[in-house]
Amino acid sequence: MKYSFRNDYNQVGHPRIIQTLLDHANCVNVGYGEDIVTKELENMVSNLVDGDVKIYLLVGGTLANKLVLSKILAPYEAVIACETGHINVHETGAVEQTGHKILTVKKENGKLSSKDIHEVMNIHNEVHRVLPRVVYISNSTEVGTIYKKEELMDLYHTCKQYGLYLFLDGARLPIALTSSANDLNLKDIYNYTDVFYISGTKNGMPLGEMVVVKNELINSNFLYHLKNQGGMVSKTFTLSYMFKEYLKDDFYLELARNANKMAEYLKEELIKLNVNIKYLNDTNQIFVELNNDIIDTLSKEYDFEVWESNSNSTVIRLVTCFNTTLDGCNMLIEDLKKLLN
C-alpha cells in the first residue's frame, strides 16, 4: 500500500474514537438527538465556548452547509462567498439546489474582508438583484490560509452592521486552531460568528459534523428543518459518543496539531531541498511543483492529488493529517532527495 498524502479524510478514523463506540455498543438511547448523551455533548460545547449553544449533529460538510444556509435564507436571499469557496466550487450546486444564489468575490488568499462585504452590499440594493443575507467563510480556507482574530472580528462587526449572518465552515477548523500562525480559539469562533460547524470527518472521526448555533433565530425550529432536509440522524447518539471523546481533553486539537506539525516539518525539509512550494500557507496543505518524471516515480510509492499539470512540471498537493508520521515524512523526503540528485 502506498503511503498517503492524498487527503485528511482517507483513513477510517482514530482507534480511540471507534473504541468509544464499541464500549457503548449496547447502550440504549432515545432517537433524533433528544437523548442524554447529546445533551451532555451540548453542555460540553457550551462550556468550551463559555456561552449557551445549541448543537446539531449530522453527516457531511456539504449537508451542513446547505442546511445552515437554507435555514437562514428567504427564497430571494443570497450568500456571499469567495470564488474559491467550497460551496461555490465543489458541492455540485448543493446550495443552489436549495434555491439560493451564491454571490462570489474573487480573492487570491481565499479570505473575505470587510471591504469585500461593503462592495457587494453597495451593488445589491434593488429588487432586481438578490438580497444578501449570509456571509460564508471557511477556516482554514480552501487554499490553506487562516483568519487572524482581528480579521474575523472586523468581518463579524461589518456583518452586524448590514444585518448579515456570519457562517463559518469548519471542515478544517481544528487544523486552523492549531496552526502555528493562529491566534484564535474556539471561544472566539463562537463570539465572532452566528453559526459554525466542526468537522469530525476530516480530523480522525469515521464520520460526523457538529453544527454549533449561537443565534436564536437560526435555532428556531432547526430540528424541523434538519428533518425536512434529510439531515436528521435517527441514532444521533452514535455521533454524540464519538464527539464527546473527540472533544474530551482537547483530543480534537491534539489530532489536528499532529497534522500541522508534520506539515511544518515537511515544508522545512522541502525548502532545504530547494523545491518550489506554491500557495505557501500555515496549515496542512502543501503544494509542491516538481518535474513530471519525478512525479511519475513518486506516485508509485505515495498517494497524493495532482493540482496543476503543465508540460514539464506538475503541482501536487500533499496533505498531512491526524495520523501522518515522522517516518512517513522522512521516507518521502529521502526518496525525493535521491530523485532530485
Q: According to CB under 8 A, which residues from 140 to 199 bind a copy of itself? A: none
285 contacts a copy of itself (rule: CB under 8 A): no
- Alpha-carbon dihedral angle through residues 109, 309, 104, 81, given to the nearest 10 degrees: -50
Report the residue from 235, 248, 272, 337 that binds a copy of itself according to the rule CB under 8 A: 235
The interface with a copy of itself within residues 238-267 (CB under 8 A) comprises 238-239, 241
Query: d(Cα 231, Cα 64) in Å, to the nearest integer?
Result: 8
Task: For strands 276-278 and 285-291, give the pairing.
Answer: antiparallel
The interface with a copy of itself within residues 214-233 (CB under 8 A) comprises 221, 223-233
Residue 170: its H or E element? none
CB of 275 or CB of 331, closer to a copy of itself: 331
Report the residue from 39, 40, 43, 93 that binds a copy of itself according to the rule CB under 8 A: 93
Residue that the C-alpha cell 437562514 belongs to: 72
x/- site string to a copy of itself, residues 288 to 317, per CB under 8 A?
A: ---------------x--------------
Query: d(Cα 183, Cα 139) in Å, to the nearest integer?
Result: 12
125 contacts a copy of itself (rule: CB under 8 A): no
The interface with a copy of itself within residues 46-65 (CB under 8 A) comprises 59-63
Q: Which of 1, 61, 57, 4 is nearest to 34 (CA)?
A: 57
* # binding residues, a copy of itself (CB under 8 A): 78
Question: From the CB of 295, what's the least distance to a copy of itself, in Å?
Answer: 18
Produce one character per residue of 308-317: b if its CB has 16 or more CB atoms within 10 Å, e if not: eeeeeebbbb
x/- site string to a copy of itself, residues 11 to 40, per CB under 8 A?
A: xxxxx--xx-xx-xxxxxxxxx--------
CB-based contacts of 98: which residues, under 8 Å, 6+ apart? 66, 69, 70, 73, 229
CB of 156 or CB of 252, closer to a copy of itself: 252
Query: d(Cα 171, Cα 202) in Å, to the nearest integer?
Result: 7
Sign of CA dihedral 263, 269, 272, 273: negative
Q: Quick check: 305 and 7 in contact, CB under 8 A? A: yes
101 contacts a copy of itself (rule: CB under 8 A): yes
Grid cell for residue 179? 496552526
Question: From the CB of 39, what's the least distance to a copy of itself, in Å?
Answer: 16
DSSP designation for 190: H
Question: From the CB of 174, what's the least distance to a copy of itself, in Å?
Answer: 16
CB of 171 or CB of 288, closer to a copy of itself: 171
Q: Which stretch binds a copy of itself (CB under 8 A): 88-96, 175-183, 265-273, 277-285?
A: 88-96
Grid cell for residue 160? 452586524
Q: Which stretch binds a copy of itself (CB under 8 A): 100-108, 147-155, 272-280, 331-339?
A: 100-108
